[in-house]
Amino acid sequence: MTTAPHSLQTLREETILKILAEGEWIGADTVPADVAGWQQRGWIFGVEAEGHLYYARYQFDDRGQPLPIIKEILAELGHTTDPWAIAAWFHFPNGWLVEDGCTAPIAPRDALDHHVAVVDAARRFRGTFEA
């Protein structure tokens, strides 16, 4: 069975709206001036919605600097032409990430303090999505 292109586009749009609504995003106008360079160097990622650039808050420390683990994760995920695929990977629960004492998977954005596990989850995911 195949899914109609219209249905895929609708699902994509619904997913993007969910990610935006459930996440904490920073507009390009409120991030440090270095953000474009950070993105170009693969230290962070950004997404575009309605003509505006946004960056997930979890990519930055309390001083507004990029978390080093984001660069490692992005390198493991590999290149994609669709930053929303990256945003979705960070946003939704990942079967490779489970907190101690729990059985339900957690989202990579909530596991950034579990360095080895989250980088390994990114490594396992590499090449399994099409942008």
Within a domain: 91: yes
- How far is the C-alpha of 25 from the C-alpha of 18, rounded, in Å? 12
Domain count, the chain: 1
**Tens-place pLDDT, residues 51-89:** 999 999 999 999 999 999 999 999 999 988 899 999 999
CA angle 21, 97, 66 (to 5 degrees): 60
Which residues 6+ apart lie within 8 Å of 22 measured at CB? 91
Within a domain: 6: no
Lowest mean pLDDT among 10-14, 54-58, 93-97, 111-115: 10-14
Give percent above pLDDT 90 in the chain: 69
Within a domain: 53: yes
Q: What is the pLDDT of residue 100?
A: 77
Pairing mode, if any, of strands 47-49 and 94-98? Answer: unpaired
pTM: 0.86
Q: Is the pLDDT of residue 131 over 60?
A: no
pLDDT band (50, 70, 90) for residue 128: low
Enclosing domain of residue 99: 24-125
Within a domain: 9: no
Within a domain: 1: no
Please report which residue ranges of 23-96 form alpha helices under DSSP H: 35-40, 68-77, 83-91
CA angle 13, 104, 121 (to 5 degrees): 70
Q: Is the pLDDT of residue 127 over 80?
A: no
Q: What is the pLDDT of residue 102?
A: 79
Within a domain: 16: no
Within a domain: 14: no
Within a domain: 8: no
